[in-house]
Amino acid sequence: MSFIHSAASSKLLGGEQIGLSPAIPVLPRQRKALTPVRASKNNPFSYRLPIMNEKPEWWYRILACVPYLLALQMSDTAFYVLPFLERYEVLESLYYYIPGAVRRLPWWFNFAHFYLAYLGVVRNNKWPHYLRFHVAMGFLLESALMVVVNSSNLMPLIHFQGTFGLYYWAAVGFIYIVVMLECVRCALAGTYVKLPLISDSAFIHTLFRVGGYQRPF
């Protein structure tokens, strides 16, 4: 009798008997809300370019274009585009208008202007942050082109005689020229250039120096 009584009581508690509501209500399982991960506002590794409320003086905007023009002049973009232009006689005359086609600067000028501009402008708080940022951008874009060129030479299909290599190097040269012209446009407009990774790196160069941390403004 005790076994039958316990079985009946368990059915009553579980609500399995017809016409009776369950004695203990079963609550539905609640799903955990997925909250998106947000970056902390006090994160020291998140950098945002400052907003330019007023345009810099016109001489600062002209000086900000000089690093990009020097990077174009000292680059080998004309030699990358030359095989592509030689294939089409109509475009062959454009070779003389591409920056870097005529290199009259001495070999030591590249090292001298880098150290003088980096130590005298980028690391110097007396210059406006806008100018220091564009000087660092010019150096970083020039270094990025060297990385692309040296890494591309390791690929077996990248050579100047082949069709694939001809179009590849022409694309590298034209993309570099277009990016530099866009940077010159931003410098003349008095704004910051927004390029992935490179803009953040240029901004970091204006913040940190050997032996400490400094505020750019």
Q: Note the pLDDT tens digit of each residue in 165-190.
A: 888 888 999 999 999 999 999 999 98
Distance (Å, whole) CA 204 – CA 149: 25
Q: What is the pLDDT of residues 69-115, one digit of tens each?
A: 888 888 888 788 887 887 777 676 676 666 665 566 677 777 787 88
pLDDT at 104: 62
Residue given tokens 């953040």 in the structure block: 200
pLDDT at 85: 80
Between 159 and 113, the more confident residue is 113
Please name the residues in contact with 13: beta carbons below 8 A apart, sequence gap of 6 or more: 22, 23, 24
Nearest to residue 67, comparing CAs of 166, 133, 165?
133
**Average pLDDT taken over every residue of the chain:** 73
Comparing 23 with 34, the larger pLDDT belongs to 23
**Pairing mode, if any, of strands 208-209 and 212-213?**
antiparallel
pLDDT value of residue 185:
94
pLDDT value of residue 32 = 41
* Interatomic CA distance for residues 137 and 91, integer angstroms: 30
- Residues in a beta bridge with 208: 213
Query: What is the reported pLDDT for 78?
Result: 78
Does residue 23 register a pLDDT over 60? no
Average pLDDT over residues 42-52: 59
**Tokens 């446009």 belong to residue:** 185
63-84: b or e for each residue (b if 16 or more CB lie within 10 Å)? Answer: bbbbbbebbbebbbbbbbbbbb
Say whether pLDDT at 22 is over 90.
Answer: no
Question: If we measure between CA atoms, which residue out of 148, 144, 145, 130 comes closest to residue 65?
Answer: 130
φ/ψ of 209, rounded to 5, equals: -140, 165
Longest dimension (CA), the chain: 111
**What confidence score (pLDDT) does residue 97 get?**
66
CB 123 within 8 A of CB 214: no
Main-chain dihedrals φ then ψ at residue 136, nearest 5 degrees:
-65, -35
* Three-class SS state of 209: strand
